[in-house]
Amino acid sequence: MTQSEHQQQAPRVVRVAVITISDTRTLENDHSGNHLVAEIEKQGHQVVGRTIVKDEKDQIQAAFERFMPEAQVIISSGGTGITGRDVTIPVVESLIDKPMPGFGELFRMLSYQQVKGAAMLSRAVGGLAGKTLLFALPGSLNAVQTGWEGLLRDELAHLAYEVVR
């Protein structure tokens, strides 16, 4: 079966949850999360959950685990850097059964075109956890736009299809 045939069989509506990891963001100033929600809905998909949690291991893990039973895809933003407070990546990696290294590799390739060598600081990661796809993006609006427009938007339904076929 070709990729085109897979895309034709993919669900038209994907159930997506959005998690923002930040010690300072609120729903009013969460530009990255607000952008993701608007874009997901614009594509006709369903936002089944949204939350903002502190950059704390237990809170991040609880948020992912809360959404995993209902969401086919969870997209997070924030907490992916290399500072001591950034713990998103180890948490997400601990949940993933099947890593998708290409997601992070392609994200950094796209980022490099915009921010040059600073792209190496991105620890964007994606993979399958049970029956839910997890994608962790950096928290900046530019990074979220890069990940959404460059990788996830046009493949979201196809990705969801691959999980259940």
Query: Which residues touch 37 (CB under 8 Å, ≥6 apart)?
Result: 18, 47, 50
Pull the structure tokens for residue 34: 């607000």
pLDDT tens per residue across span 101-151: 999 999 999 999 999 999 998 899 999 999 999 999 999 999 999 999 999
**Single-letter code of the amino acid located at 149:** E
| pLDDT value at residue 11 | 78
Q: What are the structural domains, with CATH classification, of the chain?
A: 11-164 (3.40.980.10)
Average pLDDT score over residue span 74-103? 95
Average pLDDT score over residue span 35-62? 98
Q: Considering the chain, what percentage of its residues have pLDDT values greater than 90?
A: 85
Average pLDDT score over residue span 9-25? 92
pTM score of the predicted model: 0.94
Pull the structure tokens for residue 158: 């196809």
| pLDDT value at residue 84 | 86
| pLDDT value at residue 1 | 60
User: Is the confidence at residue 6, as pLDDT, over 60?
Assistant: no
Coil vs helix vs strand at 107: helix
pLDDT tens per residue across span 53-72: 999 999 999 999 999 999 99
- Can you tell me which residue has the tokens 């001591």? 84
In 28-97, which ranges are E strands?
Answer: 46-53, 73-77
